[in-house]
Amino acid sequence: MDAIDREMLDILRADARTSVRDLATRVGISRASAYARLRRLIDDKVIRAFTIDVDHAAIGLGVSAYVHVRIKQNSWKSFRKKAWALEEAAHVALVAGDFDCVMLVRASDTDHLRDLVLERIQSLPEVLGTQTVLVFEEHHGLV
């Protein structure tokens, strides 16, 4: 990874649909070189996916929350599988600290969120307890 690779990643994070030609022009290298660098970043799994940024409120999922979950020992794999099976789960992570897992979930409204956390997540046999943190505003930027 050099400065050109990092600049390419910044450009693609801002707009994953940037063409190789535009990428090459913006970083000051040939199209062939840009393509080769991009292919290497994909092959080396530096770039894992090309994705889109969705306005969740526009699709009826205007309430977001982080659900901190405490689980039984040695139950991460089974919990992770069940957590990802929830259509509301946007991100599931094993973490260190007071809780074992953090989930980013998206719901249509607070009643939907309440049902998700209190009825569906807390009823999973691996779950010992939860704490929910409501998200007021989200911003996605370059790293």
For 108-122, how does the pLDDT look when each residue is reduced to its tens digit (9 = 90+)?
Answer: 999 999 999 999 999
- Shared domain for 120 and 67, answered yes or no, is yes
- Shared domain for 95 and 70, answered yes or no, is yes
In a domain, 60, yes or no: yes
- Shared domain for 61 and 127, answered yes or no, is yes
CATH of the domain at 73: 3.30.70.920
Instruction: Give the domain range for residue 37.
Output: 3-43
Between CA 100 and CA 73 the distance in angstroms is: 9
- Shared domain for 109 and 130, answered yes or no, is yes
| Average pLDDT, integer, range 72-77 | 95
Q: Does the reported pTM lie above 0.85?
A: no
Mean pLDDT estimate for the chain = 94
- Shared domain for 97 and 62, answered yes or no, is yes
- Identify whether the C-beta of residue 98 lies closer than 8 Å to the C-beta of residue 48: no
Closest CA to 26 of 46, 41, 48, 6: 6
In a domain, 65, yes or no: yes
In a domain, 141, yes or no: no
- Shared domain for 63 and 125, answered yes or no, is yes
What does the chain come to in residues?
Answer: 143
What pLDDT does residue 141 have? 62
